[in-house]
């Protein structure tokens, strides 16, 4: 049962898929930082249009992004708005609901936070949807490699990250199975008092931990059986190649960051 | 409890680009008090079908009736809990659902969730554990200390303890040693015969299906391609071929015997029954 969600790779043939993972990773980091810099609204226009361009280059559909990523964000936005409307009392009064005054700062603050989160989600999704987890690990390993001078185990860390990424879909499908099994035993995951809810969560978490440990032991054995030695120098089948277009991507992201800092 | 599927369709990820139709337009009646096998290739829709019996999936179109319970598409389906109490679902590798500190606590968990009081829940848990062949001495142990076969039986006891009228088992013998599967099958037969439970078994093991089930449902690409008597299905080589099934070893063996002049009656379904007939023939 395939299910597309946040952080999953989509096997398409877009322009973004052809780019070097190192360039994409660094660019996303630069862009995400840029998203959190501006204090006024206008710079967001630049980044937002860039994000739409990025979605287009990744071969994703805008409607699809709206449905899967931004829908959950809507609830967060509503929640923030309520909290801010109660606590933030600066700026001018824009709304007066039976004596309860909503100030302009509450509105602008909420919309900025939401916008930032949305942009961050879009950029990271463009990265993960177009980059295989394996490529991403290679990129992380490459970027961390200068640290090996101070005896930092870069290849081990990269291996750990790639294994962790690899296990997310496995564990989430296991969780689905356990939830179903416990529902069949009368567990109601969204009803009941606090004690019965804690019990419900326990009936999910305990088996999930057991499975995770069992899988981890099996994987460790399998890796050893295939000759993996921790800390040993490893070579890769996948050679990364940096091309002109990758430099171009980095350059644009860097320019955006500089622009954001400059206009702040 | 009679089970009735009516024009049931189920589509995974209905609103996403990779929507996948797992079941299409299923009409099916499963008889009360019988052992029914559901067989078919991986991905033919067996597990999806079975999950509807517990309202873990709600039909995309059509409906399913289980006794007085009704679950339909686009309806407000209430009282799912009482449905789940009447239909016990034993998942594949059910040992993974164990989580309590002691075996007894885990088995009593189900009945307590269905609203029985503590005393009665534990009483039922004891009974269920004894019925699956777990000794009193093990009741206070941690489930993780048990062997694979024992864990599986404890997990099944965890379902039996709330006394469902229908018992659904998904690949109950997968991964068990021959002795373990033998005991499990005996338990299932006993539940059917002595407690009159309706039993549905999802399986890949055609030999087990041939030897122990009354009816068989064959699934192919989300549709039912055969539903009827198990023996008439497997004894008819044309039907076996048509449903793309593997011939059970026992049937193959019977065919070999009959080609050598030993005609075994079509109702003989286990090695023991065949052996009896052969030895009776030799002596006579």
Residue A70 carries which DSSP code? I
What is the Cα–Cα distance from B85 to B116, expressed in whole angstroms? 11
% of residues, chain A, pLDDT over 70:
97
Look at residue B178 in the predicted model and tell me its pLDDT. Answer: 87
What is the count of residue pairs from A and B with beta carbons less than 8 Å apart?
67
Instruction: Give kind and range of the element (H or E) at residue B3.
Output: strand B3-12
Query: Which residue, A3, A123, A137, is CA-closest to A57?
Result: A123
Q: Do B56 and A180 touch (CB under 8 A)?
A: yes
What is the Cα–Cα distance from B75 to A157, expressed in whole angstroms? 50
From chain B, the residues in CB contact with A206 under 8 A are: 99
Over its C-alpha atoms, chain B yields an Rg (Å, rounded) of 20
Arithmetic mean of pLDDT, B108-119? 93
From chain B, the residues in CB contact with A187 under 8 A are: 113
Residue B12 contacts A, CB cutoff 8 Å: yes
Q: Which of A136-140, A165-169, B244-248, B268-272 has the lowest mean pLDDT?
A: A165-169
Delimit the domains of chain A by residue range. Answer: 1-150+238-264, 154-230
Arithmetic mean of pLDDT, B54-68? 93
pLDDT digits (tens, 9 = 90+) for B84-105: 999 999 998 888 889 999 999 9
Would you call A220 helix, strand, or coil by DSSP? helix
Instruction: Choose among B13, B56, B91: nearest Cβ to A3.
Output: B13
Q: Do B89 and A188 touch (CB under 8 A)?
A: no
pLDDT digits (tens, 9 = 90+) for A185-196: 988 887 778 888
pLDDT digits (tens, 9 = 90+) for A107-158: 888 888 899 999 999 999 899 889 988 888 888 888 888 888 888 888 788 8
Q: Do B109 and A185 touch (CB under 8 A)?
A: yes
Arithmetic mean of pLDDT, B241-266? 91
Q: Do A185 and B12 touch (CB under 8 A)?
A: no
Residues A5 and A119 sit within 8 Å (Cβ to Cβ): no
Look at residue A5 in the predicted model and tell me its pLDDT. Answer: 60
Q: Do A4 and B16 touch (CB under 8 A)?
A: yes
Is pLDDT above 80 for B226?
A: yes
Residue B97 contacts A, CB cutoff 8 Å: yes
In terms of Cβ atoms closer than 10 Å to its own Cβ (0-12, 13-18, 19+), residue B36 is buried
Residue whose token pair is 């679902």: B89
Is pLDDT above 60 for A4?
A: no
Q: Which of A94-103, A211-220, B36-45, B154-163 has the lowest mean pLDDT?
A: A94-103
From chain A, the residues in CB contact with B159 under 8 A are: 184-185
Identify each DSSP E strand in chain A by its residue range: 93-97, 100-103
Q: Which of A47-61, A84-98, A137-151 has the lowest mean pLDDT?
A: A84-98
Q: Do A210 and B51 touch (CB under 8 A)?
A: no
Instruction: Choose among B18, B94, B99: nearest Cβ to A203.
Output: B99
Would you call A203 helix, strand, or coil by DSSP? helix
List of residues 6+ apart from B64 with CB closer than 8 A? B3, B4, B5, B6, B8, B52, B53, B70, B71, B72
What is the Cα–Cα distance from B9 to B7, expressed in whole angstroms? 7
Is pLDDT above 70 for B1?
A: yes
From chain A, the residues in CB contact with B18 under 8 A are: 2, 4
Q: At what angle do helices A154-184 and A133-144 cross, to 10 degrees?
A: 140
Is pLDDT above 60 for B7?
A: yes
What is the Cα–Cα distance from A257 to B32, expressed in whole angstroms? 70
Q: Is the ipTM of this complex over 0.90?
A: no
pTM for the model:
0.75
Structure-model confidence comparison of residues A93 and A226, the more confident one: A226
Q: Do A206 and B99 touch (CB under 8 A)?
A: yes
- Take residue A98 and report the two structure tokens written for it: 């039976």
Look at residue A2 in the predicted model and tell me its pLDDT. Answer: 40
From chain B, the residues in CB contact with A203 under 8 A are: 97, 99, 109
From chain A, the residues in CB contact with B94 under 8 A are: 181
Is pLDDT above 90 for B165?
A: yes
What is the average pLDDT score of chain B? 92
Closest Cα in chain A, distance from residue B26 (Å): 20
Q: Do A181 and B91 touch (CB under 8 A)?
A: yes
From chain A, the residues in CB contact with B110 under 8 A are: 185-186
Residue B10 carries which DSSP code? E
Per-window interface: B 185-224 vs A, CB < 8 A: none
Scanning every residue of chain A, which has its alpha carbon at the shortest distance from the alpha carbon of B22? A1
Is pLDDT above 90 for B206?
A: yes
What is the Cα–Cα distance from A29 to B165, expressed in whole angstroms? 57
Structure-model confidence comparison of residues A98 and B167, the more confident one: B167
Instruction: Choose among B81, B91, B113: nearest Cβ to A177.
Output: B91
Q: Do B18 and A4 touch (CB under 8 A)?
A: yes
- Angle among Cα A106, A108, A111 to the nearest 5 degrees reads 105
Confidence class for position A1, pLDDT limits 50, 70, 90: very low
Instruction: Choose among B16, B17, B84: nearest Cβ to A186.
Output: B84
Q: Do A186 and B110 touch (CB under 8 A)?
A: yes
Interface test with A, best of B42, B85, B97 (most A CBs within 10 A): B97
């Amino acid at each position: 049962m395939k299910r597309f969600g946040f952080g999953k790779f989509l096997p398409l043939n877009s322009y973004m898929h052809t780019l070097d993972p190192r360039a994409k990773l660094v660019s996303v980091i630069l862009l995400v930082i840029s998203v959190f810099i501006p204090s006024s609204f206008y710079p967001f226009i630049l980044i937002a249009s860039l994000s739409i361009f990025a979605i287009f280059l990744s071969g994703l559909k805008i409607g699809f992004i709206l449905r899967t990523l931004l829908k959950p964000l809507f609830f967060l936005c509503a929640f923030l708005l309520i909290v801010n409307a109660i606590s933030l009392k600066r700026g001018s009064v824009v709304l007066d609901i039976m004596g309860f005054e909503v100030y302009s700062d509450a509105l602008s603050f909420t919309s900025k936070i939401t916008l930032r989160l949305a942009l961050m989600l879009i950029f990271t999704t463009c990265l993960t949807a177009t980059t295989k987890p394996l490529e991403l690990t290679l990129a992380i390993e490459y970027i961390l490699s200068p640290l090996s001078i101070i005896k930092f185990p870069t290849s081990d860390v990269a291996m750990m990250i790639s294994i962790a990424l690899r296990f997310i879909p496995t564990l989430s499908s296991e969780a689905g199975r356990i939830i179903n099994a416990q529902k069949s035993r009368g567990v109601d995951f969204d009803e009941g008092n606090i004690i019965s809810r804690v019990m419900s969560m326990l009936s999910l978490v305990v088996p999930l931990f057991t499975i995770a440990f069992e899988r981890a032991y099996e994987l460790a054995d399998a890796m050893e059986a295939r000759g993996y030695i921790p800390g040993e120098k490893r070579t890769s089948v996948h050679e990364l190649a940096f091309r002109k277009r990758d430099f171009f991507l980095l350059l644009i992201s860097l320019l955006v960051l500089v622009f954001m800092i400059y206009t702040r | 409890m009679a089970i009735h599927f009516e024009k049931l369709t189920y589509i995974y990820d209905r609103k996403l680009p990779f929507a996948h139709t797992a079941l299409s337009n299923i009409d099916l009646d499963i008889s009360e008090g019988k052992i029914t096998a559901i067989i078919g290739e991986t991905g033919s829709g067996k597990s999806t079908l079975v999950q509807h019996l517990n309202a873990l999936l709600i039909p995309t179109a059509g409906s399913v009736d289980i006794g007085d319970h009704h679950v339909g598409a686009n309806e407000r389906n209430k009282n799912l809990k009482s449905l789940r109490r009447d239909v016990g679902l034993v998942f594949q590798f059910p040992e993974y659902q164990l989580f309590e500190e002691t075996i007894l606590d885990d088995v009593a968990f189900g009945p307590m969730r269905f609203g029985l009081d503590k005393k009665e829940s534990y009483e039922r848990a004891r009974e269920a554990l004894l019925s699956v062949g777990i000794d009193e001495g093990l009741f206070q142990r941690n489930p993780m200390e048990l062997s694979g076969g024992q864990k599986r039986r404890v997990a099944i006891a965890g379902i039996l303890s709330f006394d469902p009228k229908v018992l659904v088992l998904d690949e109950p013998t997968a991964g068990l040693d021959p002795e373990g599967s033998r005991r499990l099958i005996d338990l299932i037969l006993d539940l059917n015969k002595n407690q009159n439970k309706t039993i549905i078994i999802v399986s890949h093991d055609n030999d087990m299906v041939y030897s122990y089930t009354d009816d068989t449902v064959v699934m192919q690409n989300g549709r039912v391609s055969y539903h009827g008597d198990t023996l008439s299905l497997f004894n008819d080589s044309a039907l076996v071929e048509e449903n793309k099934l593997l011939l059970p070893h026992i049937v193959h063996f019977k065919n070999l015997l009959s080609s050598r002049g030993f005609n075994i009656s079509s109702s003989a379904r286990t090695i023991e029954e065949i052996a009896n007939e052969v030895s009776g023939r030799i002596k006579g």
